[in-house]
Chains A and B, each alone.
Chain A
Amino acid sequence: MPLLWVLRDVLGLKGAKYGCGIGICGARTILEGHTAVRSCQIPLAEASQKAYTTIEGLSPAGDHPCQRAWIEEDVAQCGYCQPGMILTAAALLAHSPNPTDAEIDKAMSGSVCRCGTYNRMRRAIHRAAEGSRR
C-alpha cells in the first residue's frame, strides 16, 4: 500500500491529499527529511526505517514560516492543494533559503492548484524566506 493511503486510511492523518494517485498533481506531498516526496508513489516497504513529516507535523503550533506567510498573504482558496504546496515550499526553503523566482517555479511546478493561487504562493514563499532570515 502506498504511504499516502497508510497515512490517510490507517493512521488517520488526512493532511496529505489524494489528487491523482500517479505523482503528478502534488496534493500528496510529504517530507522525507527536508526533501519533498510523493507519498502516493512510496510503497510501505520502502518507507521502513525512514522518517517522514506530514503537514500535521511541520510545526507543533502551525507557525512554520511558510504557514504564517500563507496566512498573511491570504493564499488559500479551496485549500485542498495547500498542505502539499506548503511542504514543497518548506523543502525549497530548507535547501535554498532565499530562492529566486526561477527556483520557485522549478520547485512548485510539480503541483497543481486548480484555484490558481500561484502568484500569492510565490509572494508567500518570498515572505517566508524573509521571515526566516530575520
Chain B
Amino acid sequence: MKVTRRSAVGGGASLALAFFLPRCEDAAFLFFEPNAYIRIAAGGSITLWIARSEMGQGVRTNLAATLADELDVDLSKVTLRQAMPGARFKGIRLRTSGSGSSSATFLPLRRAAAAAAREMLVGAAARRWNVPAESCRSESGAVVHRGSGRRLSYGELAEAAASEPVPKNARLKDPSQWRYIGKPVRRVDARAIVTGKAVYGIDARPAHALVAVIKRCPHIDGKLRSFDAAHAAAVPGVKHVVPISCGIFPGVAVVADTTWSAMKGCDALTVEWERGAQSSFDSGRHMQALAAAAAQEGFPIRRDGNVQPASDSATARLEAVYQYPLQAHAPLEPMNCAADVKPGSCEIWAPTQAPETAYQNAMKRLGLQEDSVEVHTTLSGGAFGRRLFVDYADEAVELSKAIGKTVQVIWRREDDMRSGFFHPASIEKLSAALTGGKIAAWQHKSVGSDLSMFGLASDEEKKDPEHYAKNEEPWGAFDTPYNFKDLKVDYVPVDCPVPTGSWRAVQYPSRVFARESFLDEVAHAIGQDPLQLRIDLLRPGDILVLGSQKIERTRMIRVLETARERFAWEQAFSVPHRLAGKGIALNIYSADSYMVQIAEVSVSADSGDLKIHRIACAFDCGLPINPTGLQGQVESGITWGLSATLHGKIDFRNGTAQQSGYHDFRVIRMNEMPLIETYIVPSDAAPGGFGEHPVAPVAPAVANAIFAATGQRLRELPLSLA
C-alpha cells in the first residue's frame, strides 16, 4: 500500500498535523488520518495512538475518553495503539513526566486532533449532500443532516474527509455535550489486567530471546577489575558471560536460555571490583554534612521584603530542622528491557517513561539512521520517575550488540533497590520571627543535592547566584504560597556521589514536609488554628506570580474552606483509650493544582503504636477530566507518601545501599491502609498536573496529627515515635 503525504499544516501547539491518504483499491485499507494520532478507517474503526506511557496513571483511558467525546464516537469503538518514537511521531513528545500525561495532552488532543477531524467529517458529508455544513452535525460515529435526517457513518466519509481543508481553529464541543469528560470513566484496559493478559515489559520478551541477569558493582564509584566466568558458564543454560559498562552501575551480564539459569549463573559468577574515591560513602555521614552545610549562605531563591528588620525586632523566634532520607522507587515490576540489534537496525521492548531517549541512545550507540530503531513502549508495572531514565534499555542494546542475539535484561529485585538511582536526602532549616502573636518573618534554608541523573549544574552555571531561582527550584520552597511579608528562601546544594533523580513528586516531598510541619509549629506557638492560619496567610487571595508560575491564592483558600466544612475540621477526633488528633497540610503543584490533606491518627499511650485512621483530601485540579481516575491517584499518591512517612529509607554503608527488597524497604500494605476520602472542588480552570501531587502533603499532615495527639514533634522521616 502506497501512502502519500497530501499536506501538512500547523496548528495545535504540540501536534504535528499531517495528512496521509492511501491510494489503494481495497476499501478495507482505506483510511483517513487527520494527524499522527487518529485513524478513521473506511470500515468504521477508530484508532487512537497514545503518545504517553501507561504506568498506572490511567492516561490511556483519559485520552481515549477525550477523543471519544470530541470526535463524537462511542468509547467502546476506540482502539488504542502505542505511539513509537520516530517516523509517525517524529518531533512529537512521547516522554511521560511532570504529572502532565493527561492534563497537558487534553486540549491539544481535543482541538487539533479530535475536533478538527470531526469538522472535516462533517464538511465531507455536507459536500456530499450539497448542503451547508452548519445544517449537519455529528452524532456518535456518524454525520446527520438536520433537515432531511440523512446519515453517513464516519467510515463511509473517511475517504472524502481526507480531501477537506484542515480547520485552523476547530470548534470544540460545548462541555454540556460531553458524555465522558468530567464523568467517572473506568479503566479501558481493566479486562486485560484482571485476566493476566496485559503485557508489561517483562512479558514482552520475543520468543527466541535469551535472558540476561547482571551482577552489578555493589558499591558506588566502582569499576570492574576482573571476573572469572568459569562457574557461571558451567550452569546449565548459560550461554554468555559478558561485561557491561553503560548502566548506572557497571556489571557483568550472564546470558542464559531462562531467567532462572541466568540468575543461578549470576550467583556463581566471581567478580572483583575496584573501589573509587567515593566508594566508602556513608549516608549517616552525608546527613551530618548536610546539617553542617546549613551554616552556608547558599543560593538566594526567594526574597519577599526584607527579613532582617522584622527578625531584629521580633519578640520571639522559632527554629527547627527537618530531615528527609534517601529513598528508592521500588516499582513492583523490576527494570527490564529486551533488544534485538541487527546489522542496520534495532528493535527495543521497554517499560519506559522516555521511549524517545531509548530511541536516540540506540541510534547513537549503534550508529544507526533515523527510523532504523523501533521502540515498543509496553505497559509499566509502576514507574514513579524511575523509568524516566533508560539505563536498562541502554544495557539491553549494548548486550544484544555484544552477543549478536536478541536478549532481555531483567533486573533482580535487589538490583532494582540498590543499583538504580535514588531520591536525594535533604535537610530543611526553618525559622520564624514572631511579634505580637503574628509571623513577622519566615526563613527557609533547603540543603540538598541536585539530581545527578539530569546532569549537574556546571561550575559556570553555579557562578550565577540566580541559577536555582531561575529554574524555580527547589519546588515547595521556591513556590512557598504564603503571604509572609518578609520571606527569605535559600538553597545550599551539597554534592552527593549516589546517583539521584526523579522520584514521585521529585523536589516537593522534603520541602513540603518541612514547610507544612513548621507552619503547624508556629500555629501552635502563637495559639492559632492551623487551617485558619493558612487561610490568613493566603489573604488577600491575590495571584502570586513567581517566574513562570501564577499561584491563585483564592483557589487554595476555597479548597481550605471546603475541607474545613466537608471534613469537619473543627470537630475533635477521638479514639477510646488512645491519644488521638488530626493534622493538616497543603500543597500547590506547579501553580495549577491545589490540595489540602487532613490526617486523623491515634497513638497507644502504652505501646506508642501508631494508627492512621483516615486521610481526607480536597483539591482543585482544574477541570477533573476523569473523577474516578483522580480519586485513584489520590489513593495512590497518599499510599506512596505514607510508605515514605512511616517506613521508607535507604541507608548507604561503605558505598552500598543496605536495603535490598520489600522486607527491609517496607511499603504500606493492606493492613496499614487508612480510609481515604476525597472531595473534588469543582473547577473549570485548565486541567492541572496530578499524579504526583498527593504525595507531598501526607507526611506533614500525619506528623502534625501526631503532634496534636501526643505533643511529640517529629521532624525526621520515616517518623518514629519516642
Contact = CB atoms under 8 A, between A and B. Distances in A.
B258 to A, nearest CB: 4
A82 B193 contact: yes
Interface string B346-389: 00000000000000000000000000000000011111100000
A23 to B, nearest CB: 10
Contacts of B635: 116-120
B186 A71 contact: yes
B195 A62 contact: yes
A19 B333 contact: yes
A70 B332 CA distance: 19
A30 B669 CA distance: 19
Given A5-B260, A115-B56, A25 B332 contact: yes
A51 interface: no
A83 to B, nearest CB: 4
Contacts of B186: 71-72, 74
A119 B676 contact: yes
A66 B193 CA distance: 12
A116 B662 contact: no
B56 A74 contact: no
Interface in A49-94: 54-56, 58, 62, 66-67, 70-72, 74-83, 86
Given A70-B190, A74-B628, A78-B56, A1 B258 contact: yes
B194 A118 contact: no
Nearest to B672: A109
Interface string B332-345: 11100000000000
A56 B196 contact: yes
B640 A116 contact: yes
B639 A116 contact: yes
B333 to A, nearest CB: 5
Nearest to A15: B196
B671 A105 contact: yes
B202 interface: yes
Given A74-B190, A77-B58, A117 B334 contact: no
Interface in B38-85: 54-58
A122 B670 CA distance: 8
Contacts of A37: none
B413 A112 contact: no
A115 B663 CA distance: 18
A92 to B, nearest CB: 11
Interface of B: 54-58, 184, 186-187, 189-191, 193-200, 202-203, 211, 258-260, 263, 330-334, 379-384, 410, 412-413, 628, 632, 635-640, 661-663, 667-671, 673, 675-676
Given A9-B258, A78-B55, 15 more contacts: A5-B258, A15-B195, A20-B413, A24-B663, A55-B196, A56-B195, A74-B186, A75-B190, A76-B193, A76-B194, A78-B380, A106-B671, A108-B669, A111-B670, A120-B635
